[in-house]
Every structure is written in C-alpha cells, then in structure tokens.
C-alpha cells in the first residue's frame, strides 16, 4: 500500500513539473515564434506522437511549426538555452521511430518548408526545402527530362529532409545509389541555431567529408532545412523481366549469377510465394502464383542498351533455372509488374491484422540460406512471414504477420524479428539496410557494435551536439540497455569464441 | 580483423607508445602521395606490412583488403575477374596502398560520371587514438546502422585514425569503351559538356587541355556505338586512348609535372573543385579541365589568395597540389563552425593528437 501511494505521489509531482516545464518552454518560444505555430494542448499534439512505427508513442512537450529559417534558428537557440531536447520531423513516414518524440522535448515540424527553390537543367541539380516530397522533385524535374533517382516506397509522402536523415534507398539503388550518392549539399542549423552548410555545388569540399556523416544521422547531428540534389537524365526506356523459379535456392543463385555476368540491373527484386499470393490478391499484378519465388529484373537506358541488356539478362536467368521469363511488352505491363512489388506492405496488411516489417541486409549469396532460416523461425515462433527482398542489394524486408491484440503474438513477433536481425549479422550483414535504427533497432545495435564502437558513435554525436539535445536516445544504445538486452556482440559473420559449443 | 594478428599488435604497441611519450606518428603507406597536404611530421609508422586481400567474391561486388595492400595488387585481382575500381584512383607513382587511396580521397577521370572513392567505401576497420580497433560500415552496399564513420575517413589524411582494413564496392569493367577527340576551345568545350549532361549518353570521362577535348564513352556496346555516331568527333585509337587516360588518371601527363625551373618561376599546381557549369576562369597560366568542368587544374604563378578567390566565387574550393610555398595552407579554409566540428571530431577519435598532425589543417 505504502509503495503504491508513494508512487502515485511521485507521478503527480512529475505531472506538475512537466506542466511547469511546458509553460516555461511555451513562454520562451512565444517570444520568438508566431503563437499559432506553437502547439501544446494534448489534442493538438496527438498527431505527432509517433511516426510510421506506430507501436512506439510518446507525447511531446511542445510541437512547433516554423515557416522560416530564422524561426528554426530561434527555436533551436531557445531550446539550447533551456536544455530542451529537439526532435526534427518531416512527413513522419519513417519505419524505425526516428521521429518518435522525446517526452520532455520539442517536436520541430518542418512540414512548411515545402518549396522547390530551383531546378537547374544545365547543372542537373535541384535546390529544395527539406519538407519537399521525394516524388515532387522528380515531378518538377520531368519537364526537363530529368529525375531524382532514390525512390523509397513511401516516395509520394516522405520528404527529402527525412531521406537525408535516413539515407533512404529504394528499388533502384543497386544502379543509382542511395540518398548519400545523390545529394550534393545540405544546408541547415547546428543545435545552438548557428547556420551551417555541408557539401557544396562542387563535387567535393575542403576538409573532412562531413556530409557523409550528416546523411543517415537520423537528425542527431544537425537540423536540415535545404538540400541540393543531383538530377539524372530519365532513361528513354525501361523494361522488366518477371522470372519464375521452382525453388528458392535457384532464385537466390540467379541473383548472384546476374551480377557475376557483369550486369547491374536498374532493379532486382525477389518475392516468395506467400508474398506473391498476397499482392496478387491485392492488385492483380499477373504474377506466376505457382512459382516458389519470382524475380523482377529491370533494365533501363537507351532502346539499344535495353534491348542488348534484356537479352543478356534473359539468357542468364534461364541458365540459372528460371522456369518462366516474361518480358514487359510495354510501359503499362512494366508498371503492372511493379505494382505488386510496390504494394507488398499494404497487401500484407490485407491478409493479417498486423505485420512487422524487418529491414536487414546480408551478402547476396546468403539469400537462400536466410530464407530457409526464416522458414524455420516461422515454425519456432508459430507465426507466418512473407518475404520481399531488394535482392540485388541483399536488403531483406521479411514481413512478420501477427495480431497485436494478442500479447503473446506480439511477444513472439518481437523475438522473431530480433532473431532475423541477429541471423543477418551472423551471416555478415547489418541490422538495418535503409529504414534506420531509430528506437526500433536500439537493441540490435548492441549485437552489431562493440561497446568501444558505440562509444565512438557517441563521440561523433558530441562533436556536433555536445549537450546531446538533438533527437537524443536514438541510434546509439546505452551500455545499460545493452547489458539488460543481454545479447552478445557478434562480429563479421563470426561468433566470438567459435571453438566453444553453443546450443 | 583480429587483435592477435602480429602486424596489428605491433601497430597497437606503436600507438600506445606514441600516446605515452606524446610523440606523434606519420602514418605511411607507399609514400606516393606524401607531397599532398600539409608537410608530414612525426615518427614514420610503416603500414606496408599490413597486406592481403581478406575477402573477394565477384558476385558480391565487394572486396575487402588490409590497408597496406598495394593498389596494383588489388587492381590486378579485380581485373582477373573482369571487375575494377570504377572511380579510377590516381596512382601518381608505383607502390601506393589501399589505405593511402582512401586517406587521400582522390578520384580519377570517371569521378563525375560514376562517383568518388567515398561513394564506393562500404566499411573500414580502424585503430583510433585510444588503441581501440573499431569496425564501421560493413561489406554490404545498403547499411544505415549508426553514423557512416567509414566514409568520414575518406580524404581525412589519417588525422582521425589508422585505417587497417577497407571494404569497397567494385563494378564490372564496361563492355565497351571508346574515346572521341574534338578540337574545341575552352568555351565551346564547356558549353558542349554542359549540354550533354542532361542527356542519357554513356559519357564516362572528359578531359580538355590546350584546345582539345577528349571524351570517353563506356557502357553497353549498342549505347557506345550509337553515341559515337551521334556525337561525331574523331575516334582515338583504343591503345592510344588507354595510354592517354592513364596519364590523366595518374597525373603523370607532362602538364601535371613541375620541374625545378617552373618552381623557380614561382609556378604552382592547383586543383580547383567548382560547379561544372562555371564558365571559363580567368587566371594566368595553363589549364587542364576534367569531370565535365567540375575539376580544373591550373599551373599558375597566381598567388594563393587569387586562386582561392576564383574558386570561392564559383562556389568551390582550391587545393595546392604542388608548389614551393605552402605557407598559405594547402586546403582552403573552412567556416569557423565546421572547423570547430573538425577539432571536436579529432578530440573524439584521437584525443592525444598523435595521428598525422598538421596534414589536413594546422593544429588538427
């Protein structure tokens, strides 16, 4: 009894101090921002409680929606002075909880920075504000026969600022690279509100290549407000082969074989039978539902190039054991092939109350091995899993199907997911290929990195943000957390002390 | 990489000793790029024993090798499998190492089309100033676990740590390449390069010097053949072309060499990295243009201030490559806020300040 009442007292004191804190922060922000850009009533801040990783929710202290760079600087200066954490937010489409609010922090929504400032068809660059949607850049550049290559599946909604934070990929990065390879310059602010630029309109800069660590830093090193991206000429033609395989092993081997023949496809995707069944029911993409796995293999370029490459691809895929190869006749059919792949996530939502999307990368040659391991895990955790892979990059998106209404299914699903990530590290891969660490994969970072490596990450963080106010608590797990998680650090596809028997 | 490895163990001892005795180290591979950057200082730390390709599987498009591996050995292993380092790292002279390639961050003629050395680094194992062996990145192309520390090492001139092992993305050699030659002045060449950039052409490299533009096409057979017909110009004999691009890549063409006489005349070699669309620059001396206009080499008697000003006005920066007088710094000055981050990163990786002091900036 005593314990209960003392904890109730402590809680209400916490509420009072939070309210006081909120009043102080709002009062300080009102000095530098128009009042209508500051949200703090619970009903106003609810939409900001999570990103697309909806299982993790936190109520932010305050949400601000500035619309000028000067206001962003003022917010940062104010928060820095008060020691208040700041979490920058774009469209909130992230899948790893990178934009999950800090309970005593400010959400800096950059949604109003949605202008395309310049499309330059001669230098093949675009200067855009951070809140511009990924697809909007390509749409604006289309008039000049250009486009922005990275195409994460959320591209109709996600913003370029979020892409910079996560180093987003997509289905075409095998040939065209990630966000890092397609961004020239990032303009923004340091944690104390000082303006800063990383990269430039030139191809390199003097000094350390800080742009490399800014891209993919999940908003923990600086706040991005403006981005210069590279545009590339739109290929004149793209054609796609849908290849069927009777077993998963030969599909995995076919992926390696395409690469071994010196072909870099514009896209190379793989889906297992459970996945093709789910998406075909959802969008009718005319997939071969008999196949154990299908590959989508795309070629783009000039008509001459595509003709030459498609012929070589078909030859290699058939030699690798494809039971059927269908080449898209026209653009409509090509888009139909892709419609299934691009709807893999919503289709999974159609066959299960909930699904958890994983995102690890493994060396390509381990694809079949990984799929077999996942099949065993389905038995072990008594849950179904459908699989869609960026096979060309070895980037896996197994979707574990479960019902969140069942606490036990939820628990088994989490164990299943952790098992996939740890197996990926053991196979020589990484716990996140393109979705980021956020809060979701903090535990898995304990498996992939040693305490000294995690301490070095923290050193990098503090070089930019000494007080650790920008998106604190993401990406780098604390020593305590890793100790509690209790999993061993696994290195480079090897277990420590391989000579010891393990069960 | 295993700390029990005798070569790595020796390096660890040296780092411990350097920290204890406050005696900085000059990390040295083949020494082919010692002339770059601030003057080397400290006890030499020889990296050339840390050799060997750790893993290479052509189907993965990834090679991992220890930092002291000779670049020539690495490239020969790739060539055997029909693959290459597509960014064509300049070798300058024989004997250069993988670690030196990454630390200097130099890319060759194809850089504007295929990306830089940084773009192809997937992971590194490094030894920091606290004698910790750390691995960042990995052997897969898509990897966003933690900050991209491995790419921060590219072009860092060793000031943050000792590179021990590096994983690189590699690519198949193009099926066909061809070189076209056009007798055009600088303005016409820059204009044409600008107009081609927005078109889907298989342009892989360009180099303009003394009234002549060389253009290299590479890719699928059909694409290269079609582009040759469309672009015109004079096709260069393949053997001659290969020789020419090698001289450009390795900066061994006569243009890049400064003899004693030219040094005595006060000539320096500068590298200006500027937006490709910048028009002709007005500096005295001779020029060599690469990367479709984004890299302009100047052999000039102009002072550091004049060269840096020309680069800065165009939105880029200038680096002193060869010259008698390094007193104005080799690399362009950076903003105070970025310099603060540089110092704090140095503190985070090498708190005792024992690695390559002054090689990138004075005091770093």
Band of pLDDT at residue A260, cut at 50, 70 and 90: confident
CA distance A427 to chain B (A): 11
Q: What is the pLDDT of residues B183-234, one digit of tens each?
A: 999 999 999 999 999 898 999 999 999 999 999 999 989 999 999 999 999 9
Position B226 scores a pLDDT of 93
Length of chain A: 503
Residue A386, both tokens: 């459908």
Q: What is the pLDDT of residues A228-255, one digit of tens each?
A: 999 999 999 999 999 999 999 899 999 9
Band of pLDDT at residue A492, cut at 50, 70 and 90: low
- Cβ contacts below 8 Å, chain A against chain B, sum to 265
CB-based contact A462 B345, cutoff 8 Å: no
Question: Do residues B25 and B42 make contact, with C-beta atoms less than 8 angstroms apart?
Answer: yes
Report whether pLDDT(B280) > 60.
yes
- The verdict on ipTM greater than 0.90 is yes
Residue A361, both tokens: 């990368």
Residue B302's nearest CA partner among B284, B324, B322 is B284
Position A170 scores a pLDDT of 85
What strand order describes the sheet that includes B162-169?
B53-57, B62-66, B162-169, B121-127, B133-137
Answer with the residue of higher pLDDT: A270 or A502: A270
Tell me the DSSP string of A466-501: TT--BSTTSSS--HHHHHHH-PPP-BTTB-SSTTS-
Position A233 scores a pLDDT of 93
Question: Do residues B206 and B214 make contact, with C-beta atoms less than 8 angstroms apart?
Answer: yes
Q: What is the pLDDT of residues B234-278, one digit of tens each?
A: 999 999 999 999 999 999 999 999 888 888 899 999 999 999 999
Position A502 scores a pLDDT of 36
Q: What is the pLDDT of residues A416-428, one digit of tens each?
A: 999 999 999 999 9
Q: How far is Cα B19 from Cα A361, in angstroms, rounded to an integer?
A: 38
Q: Which of B144, B224, B276, B313 to mutate to test the interface with A (most CBs of A within 10 A)?
A: B144
Q: How far is Cα A283 from Cα A401, in angstroms, rounded to an integer?
A: 19
Q: Which of B109, B131, B133, B143 to mutate to test the interface with A (most CBs of A within 10 A)?
A: B143
CB-based contact A122 B197, cutoff 8 Å: yes
CB-based contact A437 B145, cutoff 8 Å: yes
DSSP three-state, residue B242: helix
Report whether pLDDT(A501) > 70.
no
B140 → closest Cβ in A180, A394, A476 = A394
Report whether pLDDT(B289) > 60.
yes
A181 → closest Cβ in B58, B119, B144 = B119
Q: What is the pLDDT of residues B155-178, one digit of tens each?
A: 999 999 999 999 999 999 999 999
Q: What is the pLDDT of residues A309-318, one digit of tens each?
A: 999 999 999 9
B142 → closest Cβ in A264, A395, A459 = A395
Question: Do residues A122 and A218 make contact, with C-beta atoms less than 8 angstroms apart?
Answer: no
Helix A367-381 / helix A248-260 crossing angle, nearest 10 deg = 150
Query: Average pLDDT, stretch A76-103?
Result: 96
Q: How far is Cα B122 from Cα B139, in angstroms, rounded to an integer?
A: 6
CB-based contact B140 A452, cutoff 8 Å: no
Question: Do residues A173 and B141 make contact, with C-beta atoms less than 8 angstroms apart?
Answer: yes
Closest chain A residue by Cα to residue B128? A456
CB-based contact A203 B295, cutoff 8 Å: yes
Report yes or no on whether pTM surpasses 0.90: yes
- Which 348-387 residues of chain A touch chain B by CB within 8 A? 361-365
Report whether pLDDT(A23) > 90.
yes
A217 CB contacts (<8 Å, ≥6 apart)? A165, A475, B147
Q: What is the pLDDT of residues A390-412, one digit of tens each?
A: 998 999 999 999 998 999 999 99
Band of pLDDT at residue B3, cut at 50, 70 and 90: low
Position B263 scores a pLDDT of 87
């Amino acid at each position: 009894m005593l314990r209960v009442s003392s904890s109730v007292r402590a809680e209400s004191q916490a509420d009072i101090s939070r309210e006081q804190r909120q009043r102080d922060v709002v009062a300080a922000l009102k000095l530098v921002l128009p009042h209508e850009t500051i949200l703090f009533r619970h009903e106003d801040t609810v939409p900001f409680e999570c990103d697309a990783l909806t299982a993790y929710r936190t109520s932010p202290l305050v949400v601000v929606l500035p619309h000028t760079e000067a206001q962003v600087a003022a917010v940062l200066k104010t928060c820095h002075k008060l020691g208040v954490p700041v979490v920058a937010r774009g469209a909130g489409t992230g899948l790893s909880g990178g934009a999950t609010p800090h309970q005593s922090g400010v959400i800096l929504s950059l949604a109003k920075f949605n202008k395309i400032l310049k499309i330059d068809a001669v230098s093949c660059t675009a200067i855009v504000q951070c809140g511009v949607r990924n697809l909007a850049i390509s749409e604006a550049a289309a008039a000049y026969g250009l486009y922005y290559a990275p195409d994460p599946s959320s591209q109709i909604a996600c913003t370029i600022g979020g892409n910079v934070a996560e180093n987003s990929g997509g289905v075409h990065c095998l040939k065209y690279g990630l966000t890092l390879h397609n961004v020239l310059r990032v303009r923004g602010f340091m944690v104390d509100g000082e303006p800063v630029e990383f990269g430039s309109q030139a191809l390199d800069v003097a000094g350390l290549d800080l742009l490399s660590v800014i891209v993919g830093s999940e908003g923990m090193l600086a706040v991005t407000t403006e981005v210069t991206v590279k545009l590339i000429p739109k290929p004149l033609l793209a054609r796609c082969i849908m290849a069927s395989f009777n077993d998963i092993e030969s599909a995995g081997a076919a992926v390696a074989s395409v690469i071994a023949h010196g072909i870099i496809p514009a896209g190379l995707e793989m889906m297992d039978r459970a996945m093709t069944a789910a998406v075909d029911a959802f969008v009718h993409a005319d997939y071969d539902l008999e196949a154990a796995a299908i590959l989508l293999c795309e070629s783009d370029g000039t008509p001459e190039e595509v003709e030459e490459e498609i012929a070589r691809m078909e030859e290699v895929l058939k030699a690798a054991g494809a039971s059927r190869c269908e080449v898209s006749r026209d653009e409509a059919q090509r888009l139909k092939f892709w419609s299934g792949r691009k709807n893999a996530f919503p289709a999974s939502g159609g066959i299960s109350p909930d699904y958890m999307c994983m995102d690890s990368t493994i060396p390509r040659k381990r694809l079949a091995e990984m799929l077999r391991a996942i099949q065993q895990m389905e038995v072990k955790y008594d849950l179904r899993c459908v699989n869609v892979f960026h096979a060309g990059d070895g980037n896996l998106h197994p979707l574990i199907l479960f019902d969140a209404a069942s606490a036990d299914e939820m628990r088994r699903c989490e164990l299943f997911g952790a098992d996939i990530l740890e197996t990926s590290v053991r196979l020589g891969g990484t716990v996140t290929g393109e979705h980021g660490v956020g809060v979701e994969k903090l535990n898995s970072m304990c498996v992939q990195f040693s305490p000294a490596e995690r301490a070095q990450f923290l050193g990098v963080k503090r070089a930019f943000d000494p007080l650790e106010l920008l998106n604190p608590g993401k990406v780098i797990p604390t020593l305590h957390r890793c100790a509690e998680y209790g999993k061993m650090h696994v290195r480079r596809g090897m277990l420590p002390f391989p000579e010891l028997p393990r069960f | 990489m295993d700390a029990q490895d005798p070569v790595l163990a020796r390096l660890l001892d040296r780092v411990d000793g350097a920290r204890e005795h406050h005696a900085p180290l000059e990390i040295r591979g083949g020494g082919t790029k010692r002339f770059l950057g601030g003057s080397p200082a400290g006890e030499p730390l020889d990296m050339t024993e840390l050799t060997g390709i750790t893993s290479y599987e052509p189907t993965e498009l990834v090679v991992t090798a220890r930092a002291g591996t000779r670049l020539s050995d690495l490239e020969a292993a790739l060539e055997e499998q029909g693959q290459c380092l597509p960014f064509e790292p300049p070798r300058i002279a024989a004997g250069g190492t993988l670690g030196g390639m990454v630390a200097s961050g130099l890319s060759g003629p194809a850089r504007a089309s295929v990306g830089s050395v940084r773009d192809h680094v997937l992971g590194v194992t490094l030894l920091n100033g606290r004698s910790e062996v750390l691995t960042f990145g990995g052997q897969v192309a898509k990897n966003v676990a933690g900050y991209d520390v491995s790419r921060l090492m590219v072009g860092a001139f060793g000031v943050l740590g000792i590179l021990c092992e590096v994983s690189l993305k590699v690519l198949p050699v193009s099926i066909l390449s061809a070189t076209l030659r056009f007798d055009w002045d600088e303005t016409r060449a820059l204009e044409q390069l600008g107009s081609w950039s927005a078109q889907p052409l298989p342009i892989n490299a360009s180099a303009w010097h003394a009234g002549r533009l060389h253009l290299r096409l590479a890719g699928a057979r059909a694409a290269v053949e079609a582009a040759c017909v469309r672009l015109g110009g004079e096709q260069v004999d393949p053997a001659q072309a290969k020789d020419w691009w090698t001289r450009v890549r390795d900066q061994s063409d006569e243009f890049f060499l400064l003899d004693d006489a030219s040094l005595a005349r006060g000539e320096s070699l500068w590298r200006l990295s500027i937006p490709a669309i910048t028009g002709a620059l007005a500096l005295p001396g001779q020029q060599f243009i690469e990367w479709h206009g984004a890299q302009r080499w100047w052999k000039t008697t102009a002072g550091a201030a004049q060269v840096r000003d020309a680069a800065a006005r165009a939105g880029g920066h200038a680096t002193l490559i060869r010259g008698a007088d390094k007193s104005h710094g080799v690399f362009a000055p950076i903003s105070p806020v970025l310099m603060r981050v540089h110092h704090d990163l140095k503190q985070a990786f090498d708190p005792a300040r024992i690695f390559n002091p002054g090689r990138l900036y004075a005091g770093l």
